[in-house]
A and B are shown apart, each in its own frame.
Chain A
């Protein structure tokens, strides 16, 4: 499957000409209010009914929104969820700095467990040192869940991201192996969430399931939520591999014959260095990014992920193995 290049990402101006901005702003507030209220409701249910919930915080935009919503859900109490980050060891330093800063800002306990620890303990074995560590996070996550005995993990996954996500419940039961069983999900009616689990089971909870990428950006703008700078246009050395821009880093070095370019780019999604690619962009402000997201004709994952493309069912397979 060939995806268009970065240059073709935007809709033509004629496609957008008939969109009325005034309407967008009126409707936007209303729908963001509804999505926010729904997410806060879900978080309060988990806060009230679960014994030891934790909020997955990676420093990405979705988890930044989640943390902000947690602040609102608890207010005026301090956020009652501890934060958990599964560190692959391949994160951008500014994301780690941001993660620590936000945890301090909200006065949250931050638990970090790294894939490196699992490698040392022998529960993760890499085929080669530069292999993407993203899929191995599941093992470390399950170890962390067992270590702290978490009964619910809140995450920032959205149903618009990927087909198998579209089918996962807001409150999803995982067994002791962390497995998601698509055939055996609890029906979810009205806003009545069943949070009961047996010993060894835990819940994965997705309060922003119904948000789209654009909703997330609009909300970040409306609520003035801080983000790592990687999300905004900056100049960076990259190599063009097919239709992707691969950043030149110690983990993804230039190979013989590669042409290294410096381009203006930003990340739509921030994950492991070895598996997320920036897009060419000059969007330096939230307003620019929202405009660009509106016009963008390629999915977030289609444009930026080096790992989900391996197979159509890659994500679904990984979720069954305990992946978030």
Chain B
């Protein structure tokens, strides 16, 4: 556990992580915690609200007889739609500063929407857990922290909002931080930055607060601009799920290639899940287990010496291996596990409950296989974190640990080590609905 709430800034974390120009984060909090106001405040104070949008908010605020702008109205379009029963869903919002671009996964805070938070969190690098300073750490806070932990988000901000209503009192802030630390100590090792703020007045959101001189840490925006954005995979051995085999055949009036190359071509396209790749590297193809060396490497159309991160590449090998979509090219000395059974934590997303006898499919990286629920080990009550052994089924929003048998092998890592090779979705084979998302735990 690394609580850095009182530290002036988190410089030590930045040193070994190059800053990225894009950060994806989610906001989690109950409806009344001021989530909409906070997002509105962030957008407004970073000059990311267009004049026409602002004018609409101004007009709505006036209609409601408010003397000041109600910034929560910036996300209010969604709320109105929720009233009409149209959305219970994640919306994505975009803003930028001179340091970074941001994508906010804005998921509704209602308790019954675990699945929405899981959905938004699956692509987020950071979670803002919003707490109302008057209420302190509540069940909802623990739930959100647990879900952020489940989804392996490594950067958390504990945003203690409505400090204005507690007379900017430092002891209130410290008490909440202590309460939260006591709980979060059970949840792995996320980096947590606690920030006392007021979304309503904008204190410590973008502008540092004059009302809380006792707080020396970064503002919310400053912290968002500084944290390492990229998901850290460890071990970061090569994982390249094959998406497509690109082939150019010559002769018989065969199609001409886009590149105008006049030789036959057989290469493999995909995005690196982890690790690096360069020309001459020895790779192993799964499931065959055969090895070859990388003859050429391109990032899309550009020849590159080295690829990493999640770049979309096309590579050729020096040996003719039988490789097709769904196979995986991996580091021979650090291969993933090849398994026909996984133990995973699952979030059930569908309204229709899990029916263990039904036919389900699992999509894992670029590979889709038949799957069978062999055992429902336990269900976790996310509010109390109490687990119920051997449930009969799973209903929407349930989190449960399962053992799944697979018809063909998958090439997996633990989710804690690799977000891409450690996650999967479950598809109902007859309705084609995405019914669950899972993270591999052992």
Contact = CB atoms under 8 A, between A and B. Distances in A.
Interface of A: 1-4, 8-9, 11, 15, 18-20, 23-24, 26-31, 33-38, 40-41, 44-45, 47-48, 71-79, 106-107, 159-160, 163, 166-167, 182-183, 185-192, 194, 196-198, 209-210, 212, 214-215, 296-299, 302-303, 312, 316
Interface string B420-442: 10011101000011100100000
Given A4-B51, A182-B87, A214-B96, A34 B258 contact: no
A77 B248 contact: yes
Interface string B287-322: 000000000001011000000011110100000000
B89 A167 contact: yes
B366 interface: yes
A303 B52 contact: yes
B52 A159 contact: no
Given A4-B52, A37-B312, A77 B246 contact: yes
Given A15-B47, A187-B118, A189-B423, 5 more contacts: A28-B21, A40-B271, A44-B270, A73-B300, A189-B123
B21, B78, B244, B301 — which one has the most chain A CB atoms within 10 A of its CB? Answer: B21
A54 to B, nearest CB: 18
Given A189-B122, A297-B50, A34 B432 contact: no
B246 A74 contact: yes
Given A48-B244, A79-B258, A298-B50, A187 B87 contact: no
B437 A41 contact: no
Nearest to A160: B94
A24 to B, nearest CB: 6
A37 B311 CA distance: 6
Contacts of B325: 48
Nearest to B365: A192
B182 interface: no
B65 to A, nearest CB: 18
B86 A45 contact: no
Given A23-B99, A76-B258, A191-B420, A35 B22 contact: yes
A91 to B, nearest CB: 26
B244 A47 contact: yes
A183 B87 contact: yes
A78 B261 CA distance: 11
Contacts of A214: 96
Interface stretch (B53-61, B204-212, B337-345): B53-61
Nearest to A11: B47
B94, B100, B349 — which one has the most chain A CB atoms within 10 A of its CB? Answer: B94
Contacts of B21: 26-31, 34
B59 A166 contact: no
A186 B298 CA distance: 33
Task: List 6 A-B pairs, minimum CB-CB distance, nearest first.
Answer: A27-B21, A302-B52, A31-B21, A72-B300, A30-B21, A76-B259
Contacts of B115: 187
A77 B258 contact: yes
Interface in B337-363: 349, 363
A190 B123 contact: yes
B27 interface: no
B271 A37 contact: yes
Contacts of A303: 52
Interface in B252-306: 255-259, 261, 265, 267, 269-271, 298, 300-301
Nearest to A29: B21
A175 to B, nearest CB: 12
B404 interface: no
B103 interface: yes
B366 A48 contact: yes
A44 B244 contact: yes
B76 to A, nearest CB: 10
Contact of A27 (B101, B246, B366): B101
Contact of A45 (B47, B243, B437): B243
A38 B118 CA distance: 20
B103 A210 contact: yes
B259 A75 contact: yes
Nearest to B116: A187
B19 interface: yes
Contacts of B93: 166
7 contacts: A1-B52, A186-B433, A187-B434, A190-B420, A194-B434, A296-B50, A299-B53
